Chains A and B, each alone.
Chain A
């Protein structure tokens, strides 16, 4: 503590030594008037120099910074717009996907229905054809059976006819046939068969 008091005393002693104008001021806060004027003028000069030489650079730096911030803001706004557009596109795409899915489902159902209908129709046609063929086969078999029966009857009848007719044609019958022929031909108008 004593050491600090010694250092502050020495500093105050120096201040007191620099004041060579002879005016000794013991106020640690308020310097002498002369010093205030000189110091104020020097400060004004320094500030004017700063305003003149460093001002443009500072203003340009501020302007650049403002422009950069504005560009960043614009870029952020553009990014926001792009993001919103992308979001909109994604939403639209999602909507399209839903629509496409609905369309595909509808199309698939339609195709399935068509295949089912076609299959049923083909099945019905095949059943009808099989039925028709079976009926035709039955009819054909019946006809063939009838034909074979008729043919067999005809064959037996043909075999029998010769024997029956020959056996029944005695001489009297032969003469009757001949006489019948003579009478019939004789009754024909003259020249009718020429």
Chain B
């Protein structure tokens, strides 16, 4: 999909969520769903398999998110999948997050951990990253088992990688 079309979808989702007054929640839920989409082959196959009817794919998405996300988020994801753009969902969501953060004069900080962060940890981590980068941040926390342990923080082009996965990879490389 072209960048213009991705931007178009992102702008549409952004406007819908903002009009609904649930931008922050929807943005956060979409971000988490997009990361789950990237890390789960089964979810990716279920959403993008063209042999499965679109209605069936939408039903799968709605079943997955039912009770775990706001109705607006469920509808937006279903809409993207229904339009046959499920494959571009991460790019659309990233663009949406970027747009939402820009609207709030914030930069996006993506934090990946093997276990979920508490609210307190997220707040302290956000403050620490803002101190380190000198930017106001919109923190997005993602649980990613492939990290194994530790934290991987990405702010724009800057990556602070203190994950156990990276250390293991370095150790394997030395071995």
Contact = CB atoms under 8 A, between A and B. Distances in A.
Chain A interface: which size bin?
20 to 34
Chain B interface: which size bin?
20 to 34
B4 interface: no
A194 B133 contact: yes
Contact of A191 (B124, B134, B171): B134
Contacts of A183: 128
Contact of A181 (B150, B155, B172): B150
Interface of A: 150, 153-154, 157-158, 161-162, 165-166, 169, 171, 173-175, 177-186, 188, 190-194
28 contacts: A154-B172, A154-B175, A158-B175, A161-B172, A162-B168, A165-B149, A165-B168, A166-B148, A169-B149, A174-B115, A175-B115, A177-B149, A177-B162, A178-B151, A180-B162, A182-B151, A184-B162, A185-B132, A186-B127, A186-B128, A186-B131, A188-B128, A191-B132, A191-B133, A193-B132, A193-B158, A193-B160, A194-B135
Interface of B: 113-115, 117, 121, 124-125, 127-129, 131-135, 148-151, 153, 155, 158, 160, 162, 164, 168, 171-172, 175
Given A181-B160, A182-B121, A182-B128, 11 more contacts: A150-B175, A161-B171, A165-B168, A169-B114, A177-B149, A177-B162, A178-B113, A182-B151, A186-B128, A191-B133, A194-B132
